[in-house]
A and B are shown apart, each in its own frame.
Chain A
Amino acid sequence: MTFCYDRAKRSPQDWRQQTAKTTDSGYERPQQGMNQASSDIFGDYDPNGYFCEMFGAPGAEPLTATELIRSRLGRMRSTTLKRRAKATDRELFNLGITFTVYSERDAIDRVLPFDVIPRVISADDWSTVEAGCIQRVTAINRFIEDVYHERKIIRDGIVPADLVLGNANYRSEMQGMDLPHGTYVAIAGIDLVRDTDGRFKVLEDNARTPSGVSYVVENRHLMLRAFPDLADRIGIRQVSNYGMKLRQALAEIAPAGVEQPRIVLLSPGVFNSAYFEHVFLAREMGVPLVEGRDLVVEDGFVQMKTTSGLKRVDVIYRRIDDDFLDPAQFNPESMLGVKGIFEVYANGRVALANAVGTGVADDKALYAYMPRIIRYYLAEDAILDNVETHLCREPEGLAYTLDHMEELVVKPVGESGGYGVVVGPRASKAEIEEARKRIEARPENYISQPVVGLSVCPTLVDGGIEPRHVDLRPYILTGKESWVLPGGLTRVALRKGSLVVNSSQGGGTKDTWVLE
């Protein structure tokens, strides 16, 4: 079916590309010695001392895993590359794969910029990432369960009580509630970066509603349509079964005794900036995309209004925050939620993914304790390191931060989307002074980290191919067990030299190829 569809969609332009390819002499032949390197599109490419996802560590032999992809890309003319890149841009817009940017005055639908040069991860590297992510999510789930039950980790003095109980995302309502398989975080996104030595490090945990997975799947479709020749027989692990896997994980956390759970995706509605992703996920899972007004609590269950009457809903993948979930329990002003839903949840008659109160685990201050949390619950060392973190809530951390402002990245603990981050080496004197005042006023609200020499990836820009910094967000699904989508979202900072990859701050994405 898919095959036919793709063929039918071929336009005359694609046909011309095919012709161009065959006349492009030597294009399909394997690389014949290094003497050709200077004439290819990577000829002037210089990773500038950073670890490069395509070539490897500075000074070392180029990576063997990416050799074939490199040589195929290298032989492509830059005009071909640009033409195909333009076509992918147009396709994104026509398909309406857009996100909404809110400025003070208006909301504009924008395409998330897509870079056509893939980010490649070797099978070896991936097995580390995979194991590390599963370990981390397992520990996070154990931690949250403990926090809302006996709080052993606090009693044992591993994590300070106020960090947990004083957290704005701590929900005392969850105390004592048992969840199937102890799965609080069914969908996690863990942001990884790669330092100059090429080691993956965790930058941030997302245990509430990590977004962006729709781009992972759509980017792959886009790539395979635009560069079938580049991907041919490379052996790339597939990502298109994400919807199926998500549905399976959600079914596994359904209330006990429910045989064929009815699953829905709860969205804030068309005006949400991630609405495209909600539509995408509902479609991939084959479940209804509902809004708060489509659900009611009746007879002790959450029910969905359908043309054949009320239908019981067993599992809700909700893309709205705790605060807006239930006007009866949380923010009474919320128009997005369902009145009385929390009580049904507390009675174990509906499952929510992610659970209420998981925000207690993805706080930027708690992050610093993650290696200790992993050791505490799993008696293992963390497979993926943290980035060294100074907590301004602690006197030593505060002193160190204030003394080294020019070298550090300062982050507010409660924000997301890269807002409020001050990168010391790039900030002006005035910006640093301003940040210093903010930290002194509310030290518990800040952490600081050294600047990580984020790895780079060759990226197509106006001038040709240049290195741009990237990160990686793998997605981890947990029902009974955890599973990691082989790939994840590679975000790329498109502005030259920029380290900020957030889409709201000039970032784009790349397709992520995990090799078999």
Chain B
Amino acid sequence: MNSLLSRFAENSLWIARYIERAENLARILDVNETFARDEQGASNWLPILQLHQDEKRFAGRYRTVDAANVVRFYILDDQNPNSISCCVRAARENARSIRHLISLETWTQLNVFYNWVASLNRRHVNLNDLSRLCARIKEGCQLHYGIVNGTLYRDQIWSFYRLGTFIELCDQTTRLVDIKYHSLLPQHEDVGKPIDVAQWNAVLRSASAYHGYRRVYPHEMTPRTVASFILLDLRFPRSVTHCAWQIGHAVEGLLQNADLERVNFAPAALDGLSELAAWDIERIIGFGMHEYLDQVQLRLIELSEAIDETFFLSRYSAA
């Protein structure tokens, strides 16, 4: 009798995804402002739009790709479903539906956080103070994980939350590397120039990987070592390897629920993801970085579809 409504499982997964997405955005905006400057000191904001495949949507609403517009687009814009404002609202609406399944603290924090984000306006988004604003947004997201980790009852709801977290993390990491890797691959004459290192620094910080990277590679910074760390280091919580491992773990935990004993869930995408996560950097470069990341993305999409089909019974949803 311990059945969980599909909709509630879906709500749980999406709370995790939306909050993760909001945090990631805040970090990227912050890092871009601080680190991603070229030799003249100008920062380039186009890659952020490419990262989220938002070039078209942005062009429909703003004239120039500059810091002010991109930041507004990603923090405040209610018309942009990828904005922090929209992500936090979506997370809160999902939480509202499963208020009875989450702790009071989880709900209250998310509600207060949402109300704060919703109250932000142009005056709050001051470019000179962007770093502090982004820090507060990140903190709100991190506080949310902390409360969920500390209070959520470890049944199916938890497993779906974990699935959401690591599918989103893996998705974000692969997007980030895909955009940055090629644009930052050194031209012959640039190798070893200072800007090169600064850019890779920014990539590491965008993925919250800088301090971990420094512990593993204290003396070295090459595209190869950076990509290898971000994508393949099992101990780095946002790597493809770590996420694939956590996703497998979450599925295993999920299927241990008595209620799901008879559910058959072993999608090819899951094995495919584990297999890709076991590659080494030489093989990836040989295969082609973009092609590799594409494969990871495809497996994530297939996995999400399999979850929709098996657990959320998407086939019964009204057309």
- Residues in A lying within 8 Å of B, measured CB to CB: 260, 262, 270, 279, 282-283, 288-291, 293-294, 296, 298, 304-311
Q: How far is the CB of A295 from chain B (nearest CB, A)?
A: 9
Please report the C-alpha to C-alpha distance between residue A497 and residue B271 in the assembled complex, in whole angstroms.
73
Across the interface, which residues of B come within 8 angstroms of A288, CB to CB?
A: 3, 5
The residue in chain A whose Cβ has the minimal distance to the Cβ of B313 is: A305
Report 7 cross-chain contacts, Cβ distance below 8 Å, ordered by A residue.
Answer: A260-B1, A279-B99, A293-B318, A307-B5, A307-B6, A307-B263, A310-B313
Please report the C-alpha to C-alpha distance between residue A218 and residue B293 in the assembled complex, in whole angstroms.
54
**Which of A279, A283, A304, A307 has a CB less than 8 Å from the CB of B260?**
A307
Interface readout for B228-257 with A: 1 if CB under 8 Å, 0 if not? 000000000000000000000000000000
Across the interface, which residues of B come within 8 angstroms of A283, CB to CB?
A: 100
Q: How far is the CB of B261 from chain A (nearest CB, A)?
A: 8
**Which of B3, B96, B100 has a CB less than 8 Å from the CB of A311?**
B3
Please report the C-alpha to C-alpha distance between residue A305 and residue B6 in the assembled complex, in whole angstroms.
6
Please report the C-alpha to C-alpha distance between residue A279 and residue B104 in the assembled complex, in whole angstroms.
14
Q: Is B259 a contact partner of A305 (Cβ separation < 8 A)?
A: no
**Residues of B1-32 contacting chain A, CB below 8 A:** 1, 3-7, 9
CB within 8 Å for A290 and B5 given contacts A270-B96, A282-B100, A305-B313: yes
Across the interface, which residues of A come within 8 angstroms of B156, CB to CB?
A: 307
Across the interface, which residues of A come within 8 angstroms of B7, CB to CB?
A: 291, 293-294, 305
Q: Is B316 a contact partner of A296 (Cβ separation < 8 A)?
A: yes
Q: Is B262 an interface residue (CB 8 A)?
A: yes
Q: Is B4 a contact partner of A307 (Cβ separation < 8 A)?
A: yes
Across the interface, which residues of B come within 8 angstroms of A309, CB to CB?
A: 263, 313
Please report the C-alpha to C-alpha distance between residue A282 and residue B5 in the assembled complex, in whole angstroms.
13
Q: Which of B4, B7, B96 has the most CB of A within 10 A?
A: B7
CB within 8 Å for A308 and B262 given contacts A270-B97, A289-B100, A293-B318: yes
Please report the C-alpha to C-alpha distance between residue A304 and residue B8 in the assembled complex, in whole angstroms.
12
8 tightest Cβ-Cβ pairs between the two chains A and B: A306-B3, A305-B6, A307-B311, A305-B313, A307-B4, A308-B259, A307-B9, A296-B316
Q: Is B58 an interface residue (CB 8 A)?
A: no
Q: How far is the CB of A327 from chain B (nearest CB, A)?
A: 10
Q: Is B181 an interface residue (CB 8 A)?
A: no
The residue in chain A whose Cβ has the minimal distance to the Cβ of B96 is: A270
Q: How far is the CB of A441 from chain B (nearest CB, A)?
A: 42
Q: Is A304 a contact partner of B3 (Cβ separation < 8 A)?
A: yes
Interface readout for B299-319 with A: 1 if CB under 8 Å, 0 if not? 000000000000111001110
Please report the C-alpha to C-alpha distance between residue A279 and residue B7 in the assembled complex, in whole angstroms.
15
Q: Is B311 a contact partner of A279 (Cβ separation < 8 A)?
A: no
Across the interface, which residues of A come within 8 angstroms of B317, CB to CB?
A: 293
Across the interface, which residues of B come within 8 angstroms of A308, CB to CB?
A: 3-4, 259-260, 262-263
Q: Is B6 a contact partner of A306 (Cβ separation < 8 A)?
A: yes
Q: Is A279 a contact partner of B100 (Cβ separation < 8 A)?
A: yes
Across the interface, which residues of A come within 8 angstroms of B262, CB to CB?
A: 308
Please report the C-alpha to C-alpha distance between residue A288 and residue B262 in the assembled complex, in whole angstroms.
21
* 16 additional A-B residue pairs with CB within 8 Å, beyond A305-B6, A305-B312, A307-B4: A270-B96, A270-B97, A279-B99, A282-B100, A294-B6, A294-B7, A296-B316, A306-B3, A306-B5, A307-B3, A307-B9, A307-B260, A307-B311, A308-B4, A308-B259, A308-B263
Q: Is A306 a contact partner of B4 (Cβ separation < 8 A)?
A: yes
Q: Which of A279, A289, A306, A307 has the most CB of B within 10 A?
A: A307
Q: How far is the CB of B314 from chain A (nearest CB, A)?
A: 9
Q: How far is the CB of B217 from chain A (nearest CB, A)?
A: 42
The residue in chain B whose Cβ has the minimal distance to the Cβ of A289 is: B100
Please report the C-alpha to C-alpha distance between residue A122 and residue B260 in the assembled complex, in whole angstroms.
52
Across the interface, which residues of B come within 8 angstroms of A282, CB to CB?
A: 100
Please report the C-alpha to C-alpha distance between residue A278 and residue B199 in the assembled complex, in whole angstroms.
54
Please report the C-alpha to C-alpha distance between residue A291 and residue B6 in the assembled complex, in whole angstroms.
11
Q: Which of A289, A291, A308, A311 has the most CB of B within 10 A?
A: A308
Across the interface, which residues of B come within 8 angstroms of A296, CB to CB?
A: 316
Q: How far is the CB of B133 from chain A (nearest CB, A)?
A: 28
Please report the C-alpha to C-alpha distance between residue A283 and residue B100 in the assembled complex, in whole angstroms.
7
Across the interface, which residues of B come within 8 angstroms of A260, CB to CB?
A: 1
Please report the C-alpha to C-alpha distance between residue A288 and residue B98 in the assembled complex, in whole angstroms.
11
Q: How far is the CB of B95 from chain A (nearest CB, A)?
A: 11
Q: How far is the CB of A193 from chain B (nearest CB, A)?
A: 35
CB within 8 Å for A304 and B5 given contacts A282-B100, A289-B100, A293-B318: yes
Across the interface, which residues of B come within 8 angstroms of A262, CB to CB?
A: 1
CB within 8 Å for A294 and B263 given contacts A305-B312, A305-B313: no
Across the interface, which residues of B come within 8 angstroms of A298, CB to CB?
A: 316
Please report the C-alpha to C-alpha distance between residue A260 and residue B316 in the assembled complex, in whole angstroms.
26
Q: How far is the CB of B44 from chain A (nearest CB, A)?
A: 42
**Residues of B260-319 contacting chain A, CB below 8 A:** 260, 262-263, 311-313, 316-318
The residue in chain A whose Cβ has the minimal distance to the Cβ of B97 is: A270
The residue in chain B whose Cβ has the minimal distance to the Cβ of A276 is: B99
The residue in chain B whose Cβ has the minimal distance to the Cβ of A304 is: B5
Q: How far is the CB of A11 from chain B (nearest CB, A)?
A: 16
Please report the C-alpha to C-alpha distance between residue A144 and residue B118 in the assembled complex, in whole angstroms.
51
Across the interface, which residues of B come within 8 angstroms of A304, CB to CB?
A: 3, 5
Across the interface, which residues of A come within 8 angstroms of B260, CB to CB?
A: 307-308
Across the interface, which residues of B come within 8 angstroms of A294, CB to CB?
A: 5-7
Across the interface, which residues of A come within 8 angstroms of B318, CB to CB?
A: 293
Please report the C-alpha to C-alpha distance between residue A279 and residue B9 in the assembled complex, in whole angstroms.
17
Across the interface, which residues of A come within 8 angstroms of B4, CB to CB?
A: 306-308
Please report the C-alpha to C-alpha distance between residue A305 and residue B316 in the assembled complex, in whole angstroms.
8
Please report the C-alpha to C-alpha distance between residue A305 and residue B314 in the assembled complex, in whole angstroms.
9
Please report the C-alpha to C-alpha distance between residue A294 and residue B100 in the assembled complex, in whole angstroms.
17
The residue in chain A whose Cβ has the minimal distance to the Cβ of B98 is: A289
Across the interface, which residues of B come within 8 angstroms of A291, CB to CB?
A: 7
Q: How far is the CB of A263 from chain B (nearest CB, A)?
A: 10
Across the interface, which residues of B come within 8 angstroms of A293, CB to CB?
A: 7, 317-318
Please report the C-alpha to C-alpha distance between residue A461 and residue B263 in the assembled complex, in whole angstroms.
59
Across the interface, which residues of A come within 8 angstroms of B312, CB to CB?
A: 305, 307
Across the interface, which residues of A come within 8 angstroms of B1, CB to CB?
A: 260, 262
Please report the C-alpha to C-alpha distance between residue A307 and residue B6 in the assembled complex, in whole angstroms.
5
Q: Is A307 a contact partner of B259 (Cβ separation < 8 A)?
A: yes
Q: How far is the CB of B94 from chain A (nearest CB, A)?
A: 11
Interface readout for B101-129 with A: 1 if CB under 8 Å, 0 if not? 00000000000000000000000000000
Across the interface, which residues of B come within 8 angstroms of A290, CB to CB?
A: 5
Please report the C-alpha to C-alpha distance between residue A260 and residue B1 in the assembled complex, in whole angstroms.
10
Across the interface, which residues of A come within 8 angstroms of B311, CB to CB?
A: 307
Please report the C-alpha to C-alpha distance between residue A289 and residue B5 in the assembled complex, in whole angstroms.
9
The residue in chain A whose Cβ has the minimal distance to the Cβ of B317 is: A293
Q: How far is the CB of B102 from chain A (nearest CB, A)?
A: 12
The residue in chain B whose Cβ has the minimal distance to the Cβ of A264 is: B5
CB within 8 Å for A305 and B100 given contacts A293-B318, A310-B313: no
Please report the C-alpha to C-alpha distance between residue A68 and residue B99 in the assembled complex, in whole angstroms.
41
Please report the C-alpha to C-alpha distance between residue A279 and residue B8 in the assembled complex, in whole angstroms.
14
The residue in chain B whose Cβ has the minimal distance to the Cβ of A278 is: B100
Q: How far is the CB of A294 from chain B (nearest CB, A)?
A: 5
Across the interface, which residues of A come within 8 angstroms of B96, CB to CB?
A: 270
Across the interface, which residues of B come within 8 angstroms of A311, CB to CB?
A: 3
The residue in chain B whose Cβ has the minimal distance to the Cβ of A269 is: B97
